[in-house]
Amino acid sequence: MIRSPLMTVMLDAVMKASRNLKRDFGEVENLQVSRKGPGDFVSVADHRAEKTLREALEKARPGYGFKLEEAGVVEGTDKSHVWHVDPLDGTTNFLHGIPHFAISVGLEREGQIVAGVIYDPIKDEIFAAEKGQGAFMNNRRLRVAARQEMIEAVIACGIPFIGRGNHPQFLAELGAVMAATAGVRRMGSAALDLAYVAAGRYDGYWERHLASHDIAAGLILVREAGGYVSDTEGGADMLTKGSVLCGNETIQRELLRIIRRAAA
């Protein structure tokens, strides 16, 4: 695992926030839940974890700005640094008692994501990366999968829910990817999808209609694990466009070709 001062700050904040999440997950039926929109929920757990993360990160790095899932944009006095924080990625899984969700924290410096931490508190898996330092899961160095043939690849995706996204377009893309690969998975956490690509568990992944806090940490994880990342149009505007497509060099290129052809 990376032992830099920055990574220590990020890991400490994430571990503090995870304690309440694990407790709340054990009492999921008693949580106060309100609707934030169709198919998109927010709970007491979200707000509590976000508050813990913000307080810990502000104390350690005063002046840094924030892009938070619940509180939105918080301007900092240090304009060159921004935290992208998702206190509970996979909220719908969490609220349904499905043990697949994560805390995600990424740091942007002068427009570039330079560090990221994704923590799965149920499996106790910490995915961490810092620019130039590699990517790790707990104490194991990560590398993206080496498969070169799409027919052998397992690809992750995100399915647009009610009121968001182009469903016919997604179904066309899904059909094309299904026809070319060993399988498609939809697990409900963009942060963990990216972490799993970095870990070689998935060979590739694509999704649209994401926020920067969903993907910031995962982007650097994939890159530091030797992967290739673009938006779904093949550009490098993932945070702005809110889309991502990744894999090793070959799989990323082939997946992009399939998605482009299906979307045409």
Per the annotation, does 214 bind a ligand?
yes
The pLDDT value given to residue 44: 84
- pLDDT for 263 beyond 90: no
End-to-end C-alpha distance for the chain, whole angstroms: 43
pLDDT, tens digit (0-9, with 9 covering 90-100), for 117-128:
999 999 999 999
- pLDDT for 191 beyond 90: yes
What are the residue boundaries of the structural domains of the chain, listed by start?
5-141, 150-263
The pLDDT value given to residue 40: 60
The neighbour count for residue 78, using CB atoms within 10 Å, is: 13
**Domains 5-141 and 150-263 alike in fold:** no
| pLDDT class of 249 with cuts at 50, 70, 90 | very high
| DSSP H stretches of helix in 1-148 | 5-26, 44-60, 91-95
For the whole model, what pTM was predicted? 0.95
Per the annotation, does 89 bind a ligand?
yes
The pair of structure tokens assigned to 261 is 């052809």
pLDDT, tens digit (0-9, with 9 covering 90-100), for 137-184:
999 999 999 999 999 999 999 998 877 788 999 999 999 999 999 999
Per the annotation, does 78 bind a ligand?
no
Residue whose structure tokens are 């992750």:
156
List the one residue out of 200, 208, 214, 250 whose CA is nearest residue 232: 208
Q: Which CATH class is domain 5-141?
A: alpha beta
The pLDDT value given to residue 264: 74
Which CATH number among 3.60.110.10, 3.40.190.80, 1.10.940.10, 2.70.98.20 corresponds to the domain 150-263? 3.40.190.80
